[in-house]
Amino acid sequence: MPRSGVYLGVSAHIMHQWQRTLYETGFAVTRIPLDFDELYIEGALGRIDVIQGISPIQTLVPRPGCGVGPSYSDNFGLGAFPFHTDMAHWSVPPRYFALICASGSSNVTTNFIHRDHILRPQEQVECARAIFRARRPLDGRQIPLRMLSSDIFRWDALFLEPANRAAARIASLISDRLSTAKQSKVALEEPGQTLIVDNWRTLHGRSAVPQASDKRVLKRIYLKSVS
Ligand SMILES: [Fe+2]
If residue 37 lies in a helix (H) or strand (E), which one and from where to where?
A: none
- For ligand 1, the distance from its centroid to the CA atom of residue 35, given in whole angstroms, is 24
* pTM, two decimal places: 0.91
14-223 CATH: 3.60.130.10
Instruction: Identify the DSSP state of 138.
Output: B
HEC string of 191-220 equals CCEEEEEECCCEEEEECCCCHHHCCCEEEE
- For ligand 1, the distance from its centroid to the CA atom of residue 203, given in whole angstroms, is 8
Phi/psi at 117 (5° precision): -90, -10
- For ligand 1, the distance from its centroid to the CA atom of residue 220, given in whole angstroms, is 10
- For ligand 1, the distance from its centroid to the CA atom of residue 205, given in whole angstroms, is 6
Domain range annotation of the chain: 14-223
Please state, in angstroms and rounded to a whole number, the distance separating the CA atoms of residues 44 and 40: 6
**Mean pLDDT for each consecutive 10-residue tract of the chain (227 residues)?**
45 78 97 96 96 94 91 94 96 97 97 96 93 85 91 96 97 96 96 98 97 94 95
